[in-house]
Structure 1
Amino acid sequence: MATRSPYSGAYRKLLIAFDVGTTYSGVSYSILDPGQVPEIKGVTRFPAQERVGGDSKIPTIIYYNRNGEVEVVGAEATSEGVQEKAEDEGWTKVEWFKLHLRPKTTSSAGVTQSLPPLPPNKTVVDLFADFMRYLYACTKAYIQETYSNGADMWSSAESLGRIDFVLSHPNGWEGAQQAQMRTAAIRAGLVPDTGDGRGRIHFVTEGEASLHFCIQSGLTTESLKNGDGILIVDAGGGTIDISAYAQSASSTGMSFEEISPSQCHFQGSIFVTNRARDFLQDFLRGSKFSEDVEHITNCFDKVTKLTFRNISEPQFIKFGSARDKDPNLNIRSGQLKLAGTDVATFFNPSILCVIRAITQQREKSRKPISSIFLVGGFAASDWLFTKLKDSLEPFGLTFCRPDSHVNKAVGDGAVSFYLDHYVATRISKYAYGTDCHFTFNPSNQQHAKRLSSVYTDVDGTLQIPNCFDVILPKNTQISETKEFRQPYVHLSRNQGDLFQMGFTIKCYRGPDYPKWSDINSHMYSTLCRIEANTSALAKKLKPQNRQGIRGTYYKVDFDIVLSFGLTELKAQICWKENGQERRGPVSIVYEPDTTIHDD
C-alpha cells in the first residue's frame, strides 16, 4: 500500500469528490490540515438511506413536480409510498440521466433508445446541477454532524473558498462534457462563476480514479513487481471503462504511465436490465401479465440479476403474490421461472464487449499486461466475474476484484487522484489539430490533384484549402509538462482583423494519419474553439508589401500550443515580441456535441 505525504498547504482545506453514477452515486472527502497526513473518508449517511456503512451509496434518482421543481432525491426517492404519491401528484421520475451527457459517437448512437427521456423543459446540465446540489447539502450536513467542530470547519472553508471538488466521469467523456459538468457545479452552488471558482473544479476519468483506489488498497503491489502492466476494468451502471497502466521510473516516488489508449463502452449493468425487459415484453406479450413488465423488470434488476450464478439452474423473478400464476408462462405463486440459459443471454453482450476490449488493450499496450482488476458496481455480479475470469485466465492473466467496497473505487480514487497524483503520463486516443491551408507545391502529386481549389492569398502566394494540420498525433505518450505546438501565419489587409483570433481544434478518430479535412470528413469532430485577444500584438504590426502585389497587408506569426497531460485540455496562443515569447489569454469554448462519428 502506498504511503502518503503530509499536506503541505498553508491552511486547512476540504476536498470533496462526487461520484455521480448512472444508477448509484456517492461522496468521498478528505480534510486537509497543514502538516497532517490526509485520510480518505466517505459520506455514509444520507436521508432515508436504509443501509449505513462504509460503502454506502444512494440511487441516482430525482423526482420533479409538475412545476419542474425538485421533490425528492436519492434514497428518499425509493422510500415507501413515494411512487404512489408521485403517481397521484403527477411527479416525473428521472434516472439514468448521466448517459444523456455522453459524446454523440456511433458507438453510443443506440443508447438513446435505452434511456428514459429527459423531463420537459430540462437539460442534462439542469439535472446534474440539481443532483450535485443535493449531494453538496448531504455532505455539508454529514461533516457538520460528524465532527465536534464540524459546523465551524465547514462555515470557514465555505466562506473562504477553501473547498475543492473532484468530479469523475467515464473515460470517453471529453472537454465538452467536462465543460457542462463545470457549468452544472456552478449552478449547484458548489463554486462561484469566477476564474478562481472554476479552478476549484477538477476532473478525473473513472479509469484513472479506479487505478488510484487499487494502489491505495494495496492491490497492485504484487502485480507490479516484474515490471508488467495492469488493466483496470471499471464496470458501472452505464459504462465499462478499460484503462492500462504500468509503473514508471521516478526519483520522486511512485509514478505510473498509461500504456494503452483508454476505452469506454456502453455495456454497463443497465443494459443487462434493458435486455431482460425486451425479453419479458416478448415473452409476456398478449398475456394478463404484459402490463406488469416494468414491475417484473425492476424485480429482476434488484434481485435476480445480482444473484445469478449458474446457467444450468432455473432463475426466478419474484414479483407478485400466491394468486399470480400461469403454468403456460412458468408463473407460479407470484414467481416467473426463467431458464438460466436465457438469463445468460442478457449478460453476453457486456461480457463479450469486455473480453474484446481487454484483448485490444493487450495488443496495443506498450508493455505486457499480466493482471486485471475488476471494480465498480457491476463487478458485484458473480456471473460477470466468473465468465471474465474463466475466459481470461487461460491466457496467463491474473483476474481479481476487491473483496469489499468495489463501488467505492471511483469516489475514493478521485480523492487519491487529487492528493497523490500517481499518473504522470497519458496516451492520446485520437489525433488533434486544426484546419488550415498549405502553400501550393506543384511537384507534390497530392497538391497537383487539388489544383482546381488553389487560390491566391493577400501576399500573392498560392494556397490549398481543406488541409488538416496535426498538433498532437494519435497514440502519443504525454507527460503533464509536455506541450504540443505548431507554427501558423495569419494574413489580412485590415490590421483590425488581427486584434482577435479564433481557431477550431478538431479531433480525428480514424485509423490513419489525417492530412485533408474533406477526406473521411465524418471522422472529424469539433473538440473546442480557442479564442485569443491579440490586440497588443496586432497594434505593433508594420504593413507589408510584395513586388507584383497591389496594396499592403499585415502578417502575424504565432503558435497554437496544446497541453493534454492533465485530465483537461489547456490551450494557448503564443508569439514573439522583441525576441521574447509572449502568451495571450485564451478562452476555450465548447459547443454541444451533435456530431455522429466513428470510434
Structure 2
Amino acid sequence: MTNSSSDIRVVVGIGFAYANVKTPNKIETNDTWSEKKGEFKTNTVIRYDNMFNVVKWGLPALAEKISRKGEKSKFEEAQIAELFKLHLGEIADEEKPKLPLGLDPRKAITDYLREIGKLMKTRITDRWPGLIYFKHVRVVLTVPVEYDEKARAIMRQCAYDAELILTLESENLEFTTEPEAAAIYCLENISEHPLKEGDSFMLVDCGGGTIDLTVRTILPNSKLSELTESTGDFCGSTYIDKEFKNFIGTKVGKSALKLMEDKHYPQLQYLIQYFCTYVKLPFDGNERNWRNKEIDLEEVCAVLLQYVKGEEREELEECEWLIELDFQRVRNFFDQVIGKVLKLIRQQLTKSKKNISAIFLVGGFSESKYLLHRVRQEFHRQVSYISVPSYPVTSVVKGAVTYGLRMDTIKARVLKKTYGIELYRDWTLNDPIEGMKIIDGQEKILAFMRLAKKGTEVDVDQEFKQIAYPTHEQSECSFKIYKINADDGKYCDDPGMSLFGRLDLEIPDVYLGKDRPMEFTLTFGKMETRAFAKALKSGKTAQATFNLEL
C-alpha cells in the first residue's frame, strides 16, 4: 500500500473522536451534531429523497411525529436507511435491516461516511489551522468482528469514495474491530479496575446491531494479546426493537404493519424510537419498580390507524387505540435477545484456557441495567468482576483513537480462519486419480498447502512463508490463496473452502529457467493482508501484490 503515514499529526476515530499526537492523553469526543448538542454519539441513519440524495443524516434524520390521521408529514416522501453496515456481515437476507427499494448498502455506507467526514474535517481543520487533512490525519475505522476481509475491503472502498482518504491504498486508513478498540480503552483506564499485568479480561461490545466479544491478556508495556478467537452475533439492542415491532403486528395485523412499513417507514421508525425512549431504556428487570406502559397509537402513530381492519380494528377501537405493555411482555422482548448474549459469553469462557479476571460491557446496549443484571446473575461465580466502565458509549471510538496513536498496543490476534495456497505436490494413492497430472514426467496433483492455522495466536507483524518454483521460463506468476473454517484442508474444492485472494509475483532472472526458488510471505496478523516476495538465489526483492477476491 502507498505509504503516506510519515507525518501524522492527528488521529480520528470514525464516530467521531480525535486527538493530536503531541497530546495523546487528551482524546476529545465530538458532541455537536448538526441540530443537536450535548450528545457524544449520533444515529447511524440517513434520510434520502426519492432520487437518493441525502436530505439529513444522524439524529436529525429520525422521523417526526404525526399526531392526526389526516396530517401530512413534510418527510412523507422521505426514505430512511439505518443499520446499513449489517448488510456486509454474514447474515441471512431475511434478517438484514430493511433498506429503501433500490438502495445499495454500499451507497448508504459511503454517503454516511461522506457526511460525517465533512463535519470531521471542519472540526479538525478549525482546531488546527494549517493542518493538511490527507497528509496529516490518520483515520481509524472500527468494524464488527463478523466482518471478513472482503467486508473490510468494501469499507475501504467506501471510505475512499467518501473522500476520507486520498488513494484507495492509503496507509492513513487503519482498521480495528469494535471490541478490540473497546479493550484498548479499558487498558488505558486500567487504574479504575482491579486488573494487573498477566490478567485476562473479556470485552463485550453491546451495540445496536451486533454483540462482539474478545478476550485479551494484559502484557508488559501496556500491550494486549488476544487469548481466544473473537466472536460475535447479530443480537444487538435493535433486535429488542424487532421483538416490539412483531408484537405490534399481532395487535394491528400483519398486513397493516406491512403497509405501514412499505408506505410510511419513517413513522413506523418513530413509533419504535418512542418505545426505546419510554419503555426499553428505563427497563431494569425489577418488577417492583415497574409500572405498565401505555402506547396511544392515535397519538404516537396516527397514520397506522387507516390500515387496521377486521377484528384487530374492533379490539383497538374498544380500548381507544391504547396498547398496554406489562412487565412480562417487555421482559420477553429482552430475554429473546439477552439469551443469545449470554450464550456468546458462555462460549468464550469455555474456550479460554486462562481464568478470566473481569468482564466489561461497553456500547449503547451496555447501559441497560437489565442486561448487566442478567450477566452478573449468570456468571458471577465464574468471574467476580463484571462491570460497565465509565462512558461506555464512547469507549469504542476513544479506543480507536488510542489504537491509531499507538498501533503497537495490539501485540497479537487470533486467526478466525485457516489460510493456505494451491500448489502442486506429488500424487499419492490416497489422491483421486482424476486429479493427477503428469508434469516433467512426474505424477502431481493440485492441493491445499496450509500457511496459517485457525485459532493460532499470531503477532501483528508475523510472517508466513512458502517457497515455490516457476513451471517454465516465466517472468511472473499467480497463486490462489484459500481459506476454510477448519484446522486444515486437503484440496481447494473441499466443502467449506473458499477463494480468499490471488497473489501475483514477479519472478526475476528468467535466464535461470525453472531453477529460481521464490520465497513469498503473507502477514495475517494485521486487519488487512500484506504480501512480500524475494528471489532466493539472487536475493532480489520481487514485486508481490495480494488481490482480495471480492
Equivalent residue for 2:117? 136
Q: 1:208 corresponds to which letter in structure 2?
A: E
d(CA) in 2 for partners of 1:368, 1:400:
17
Unaligned 5+ segments in structure 1 are 1-8, 19-25, 543-553, 593-599
CA shift for structure 1 position 64: 2.0
d(CA) in 1 for partners of 2:243, 2:295:
18
Q: Secondary structure at the match of 1:369?
A: coil
Equivalent residue for 1:162? 136
Q: How does 1:176-575 map to 2 (within 5 A)?
A: 176-193=150-167, 195=169, 198-218=170-190, 221-224=193-196, 227-248=198-219, 250=220, 253-285=221-253, 294=268, 296-310=271-285, 312=287, 313=290, 315-320=292-297, 335-402=322-389, 404-420=390-406, 421-442=408-429, 446-447=430-431, 450-457=432-439, 459-465=440-446, 467-492=447-472, 495=473, 498-510=474-486, 512-519=487-494, 521=495, 523-534=496-507, 536-537=508-509, 539-542=510-513, 554=514, 556-575=516-535
- Change in CA separation of 1:470 and 1:288 when aligned onto 2, cut-off 3 Å: closer
TM-score, with structure 1 as normaliser: 0.80
CA shift for structure 1 position 97: 0.6
CA contact (8 A) 1:304 1:315 kept: no
**Alignment of 1:124 onto 2:111:** no
**Could you report, residue by residue, the CA deviation over 1:63-115 in whole angstroms, capped at 9, with x for unpaired residues?**
2223332221112213758992232xx3322111111122x3xxx225x4441
TM-score, with structure 2 as normaliser: 0.86
Aligned residues: 521
CA shift for structure 1 position 222: 1.1
Q: Secondary structure at the match of 1:389?
A: helix
d(CA) in 1 for partners of 2:214, 2:120:
30
Q: Secondary structure at the match of 1:224?
A: coil
d(CA) in 2 for partners of 1:290, 1:100:
21
Q: 1:32 corresponds to which letter in structure 2?
A: V
CA contact (8 A) 1:470 1:514 kept: yes
Which residue of 16, 39, 43 corresponds with 2:12? Answer: 16
Q: Secondary structure at the match of 1:413?
A: helix
CA shift for structure 1 position 337: 1.3
d(CA) in 2 for partners of 1:328, 1:274:
23
CA contact (8 A) 1:246 1:367 kept: no
- Change in CA separation of 1:43 and 1:322 when aligned onto 2, cut-off 3 Å: closer
CA contact (8 A) 1:231 1:245 kept: yes
Equivalent residue for 2:310? none
CA contact (8 A) 1:260 1:427 kept: yes
CA contact (8 A) 2:80 2:100 kept: no
Q: 1:575 corresponds to which letter in structure 2?
A: A
CA shift for structure 1 position 162: 1.0
- Change in CA separation of 1:10 and 1:69 when aligned onto 2, cut-off 3 Å: closer
CA shift for structure 1 position 504: 2.3
d(CA) in 1 for partners of 2:273, 2:318:
17
Which residue of 15, 32, 44 corresponds with 2:21? Answer: 32
Q: 1:566 corresponds to which letter in structure 2?
A: K
Larger mean CA deviation between 126-135 and 72-81 belongs to: 72-81
**Could you report, residue by residue, the CA deviation over 1:473-505 in whole angstroms, capped at 9, with x for unpaired residues?**
11111112321112233413xx3xx33322222
d(CA) in 2 for partners of 1:61, 1:411:
18
**Alignment of 1:109 onto 2:81:** no
- Change in CA separation of 1:10 and 1:98 when aligned onto 2, cut-off 3 Å: closer
- Change in CA separation of 1:332 and 1:218 when aligned onto 2, cut-off 3 Å: farther
- Give the alignment's Cα RMSD to 1 decimal: 3.0
d(CA) in 1 for partners of 2:253, 2:159:
44
d(CA) in 2 for partners of 1:219, 1:491:
59
Q: Secondary structure at the match of 1:429?
A: coil
Equivalent residue for 2:265? none
d(CA) in 2 for partners of 1:337, 1:574:
70
d(CA) in 1 for partners of 2:291, 2:366:
22
**Could you report, residue by residue, the CA deviation over 1:225-260 in whole angstroms, capped at 9, with x for unpaired residues?**
6x3310000010111001001112x3xx22221111
Q: 2:105 corresponds to which letter in structure 1?
A: V
- Change in CA separation of 1:422 and 1:332 when aligned onto 2, cut-off 3 Å: farther
Equivalent residue for 2:309? none
Larger mean CA deviation between 298-307 and 477-486 belongs to: 298-307
- Change in CA separation of 1:336 and 1:426 when aligned onto 2, cut-off 3 Å: same
Equivalent residue for 1:550? none
Q: How does 1:13-92 map to 2 (within 5 A)?
A: 13-18=9-14, 26-33=15-22, 36-49=23-36, 51-53=37-39, 56-78=40-62, 80=64, 84-87=73-76, 90-92=77-79
Q: 2:276 corresponds to which letter in structure 1?
A: D
CA contact (8 A) 2:469 2:517 kept: yes
Which residue of 530, 541, 544 corresponds with 1:586? Answer: 544
**Could you report, residue by residue, the CA deviation over 1:103-149 in whole angstroms, capped at 9, with x for unpaired residues?**
x3xxx225x444113552x433322221111111112333455x4xx
CA shift for structure 1 position 31: 1.7
Identity %: 23
CA shift for structure 1 position 309: 2.0
d(CA) in 1 for partners of 2:51, 2:167:
27
